[in-house]
Structure formats: C-alpha cells, structure tokens
Amino acid sequence: MAVGVNRKISAASARAHTRRSNQNTAFRLPPGIFKAISAILLVGLAAWAYQGLQPPAPKICGAPDGPSITAPRIQLKDGRYLAYKELGVPKDEAKYKVVFVHALDSCRHDASLFLPEKTAEELGIYLVSFDRAGYGESTPNLKRTLNSTALDVEELADQLDLGSKFHVMGFSIGGQVIWTCLKYIPHRLAGATLIAPAINYWWPGFSRNLSEVAYRQLLVQDQYALRVAHYFSWLTYWWNTQKLWPSFGAIVRNPDVFSAADKELFPMLAKRRKSYLEIVRQQGEFHSLHSDLNIGFGKWEFDPLDLENPFRNNEGSVHIWQGDGDLLVPVSLQRYIAGKLPWINYHELNGPGHLLYSDGIPDAILKAAFPQEK
C-alpha cells in the first residue's frame, strides 16, 4: 500500500508556477503575420491610389446612358464620329473654304465669334467648325496622339467635299493644332491662320532662359499643372480633380488667367455661350480638357520652329495673331517664333489680351487671310 508524501509548497513558489503556466499558454501571433498585414495594407493603398488616378469612362453621345445627338456628324475611318457646324455662305458658292479648330473648353459653336456674317458674305467664306474629339458631340479618341486632330481635319474636309486644298484656322489650343496641320498635311492647305496659338514651353527651339522667363509669368497653379502634363501625364486627371490645391486655371475657369481687356468681354461671351456651354464637357473632362494638356504641353515629335514654308510660290499664306496683353500665351515667345520663321505674317495687337473677339478684330483677321481681288 502506497504511502503519500506530503510536501509543503510556499506561496511564492505557487505564484511563480502560476505565472509560468500563464506564460506558456498566452496567445502568440503566427510568424511573419506583421509582414503579411503590411503587404495587404500596401496593396490596398496601391489599389485605392490607382482608382484615384483612373478617369471615369466617358459618357458617349448616342449611348444609352450618354447625351443625345443634335448635330450633323460624319463617321471617321476608325469608327469615331465628328460633330460639325457649317457657317458663312453656302459651300457651293464659296470662294474660300475653311476648317476651324476650337480652343480648350469650347466647341463647334464658338467659331461664330470669329466669323461676322457680313464679312463672311463679303469675302465669300464657307466655314465648318467641328467638336474636337471628346468635346461636345464628337466621340472621344482614346488613342489620341499629336497628329490625330490634323488627320481628323483632313478627313472632315474630304467627307464634306472641300476640295484638294482648303484653309485652316484655329484659336488658342486650336491654333496650336494648326502647327500640326502645317507639319502633317501641308499638301492639303491653301492657307493657315493661328489666333493666339498656345505655346509649348518645352519646344526645343526656345532657349531655356527665354521659355523659363515666360513660364514664370503664368499663375503658379498653371505652372504646376503644365509640369504635371509634361513630365507626369498619367497624373493629369488626378491633379485636375483633387481638391488639395488649385488645378489648371482655364479648366476651373479662374478669371485671373485673363487680362483686364479680356474681362471686359465676359458679359458678351456669357450671353453668346449660354445656350451651349453645358454641352462642352458633357462627355467628361479627361478625353477633352485633360487630353488637351497632355498633348499640347507634352513631348512633341517635331519642333514648330523647324518648319519650312509650305507655300514657296506664294500660293498661300500663314498668319499669327497675338495680343500683347495676353496672360495665357506669352507675347515674348510668339515674337520669337515669328522672328525664327520669317515666312509667317505676324500681327501683334496693342492692348488686347487672349480673347481676340473685340469689335473689328475678327474682320481684320479674315481680311488678312482672305484678301479681295482688286
């Protein structure tokens, strides 16, 4: 028969034993769990950031959930549609046939600002204006490149039977597009007019000091926005939609980008544009406004300052019009371009800013480009 042995255990030993037991049974995280959690958080953050950088799908005109179609349109070879508007005299009676290219945050209707009816009839001008890709009722071009709009101009002219040669005219960013017409379709042009054409500060023909001084004259918010478009185009959508700091002035319609002379025209413009302003951005801002920044101020595959005269036999002419009070397009750079390209007819106006709509200016622009025979 076994005999039990009684042992006395001190209170301190009992407490120590209990602590060791609790330590041995405490919950322990699996090895590497913190690395796994960090990786999951990083992936989640990246996914959130990626979503913020991606623009929403455009609201295509004519689609079930898109805006309605009200304008005549042509279908391009790639399947896209261009909406257009015809102004001036009937096409079959015209002496001059012109394709007009509108500015940033504009549409086909804005061409009428540069085409006084009386002058159009006097000179025999037929003008067709179109919504550039993504604007108004024209299909966005998801594969837009530097030459895209020039090729759209050519195809529009062909489908509307404007003939083997036609004139082109553009304002602001639309004026910048005319440089691409002079580069890619010079054989189709009878003449070209650039009205306050936007300038890319990174064109190689500018000296660094010249372009830098002009660039520093812009609003600080525009300096940043253009640098983003040039160096980090994949951030353009995010930059111009975030609310932490101001985005590109013209996109948010900041009046400070305009001169005092420009602001005097605001009441007239508001009245003229009231009926169609809402259609300008109706398909979304990325494939219209933001695309303009990426293309217009991105890296170009040619330098306009290297272009040669497309009208060696004086069968046509090229004109640039610029206001010396323009706060959006530096007059110093426009003068430099005119000096480097002596075959361009440069017209500098004393007093006006960017908006060359003042009484008499559109008439002067037309009469210079389309002179009457004596």
- Residue 222's nearest CA partner among 242, 247, 253, 190 is 247
pLDDT at 27: 52
* DSSP code per residue over 255-278: GGGS-HHHHTTHHHHHHHHTTTGG
DSSP string, 22-86: HHHHS--PPTTHHHHHHHHHHHHHHHHHHHHHSPPPP--TTSTTSPPP-S-EEE-TTS-EEEEEE
Q: Provide the CA 264 distance to its chain's centre, in angstroms.
A: 25
Which pLDDT tens digits describe the chain residue by residue (374 residues)?
444 444 555 544 544 454 454 445 455 655 665 565 565 555 544 444 555 668 999 999 999 999 999 999 999 999 999 999 999 999 999 999 999 999 999 999 999 999 999 999 999 999 999 999 999 999 999 999 999 999 999 999 999 999 999 999 999 999 999 999 999 999 999 999 999 999 999 999 999 899 999 999 999 999 999 999 999 999 999 999 999 989 999 999 999 999 999 999 999 999 999 999 999 999 999 999 999 999 999 999 999 999 999 999 999 999 999 999 999 999 999 999 999 999 999 999 999 999 999 889 999 999 999 987 65
d(CA 80, CA 219): 36
Alpha carbon distance 80, 320 (integer Å): 31
Q: In the prediction, which pLDDT does 359 show?
A: 84
Please list the residues that pair with 129 across neighbouring strands.
85, 100
Nearest-angstrom CA–CA distance, 287 and 48: 22
* Residues facing residue 334 across a β-bridge: none
Type of residue numbered 85: K
Domains of the chain by range and CATH? Answer: 73-369 (3.40.50.1820)
Longest Cα–Cα distance of the chain, Å, equals 143
pLDDT value of position 371: 87
CA quadruple 280, 89, 180, 103: dihedral sign: negative
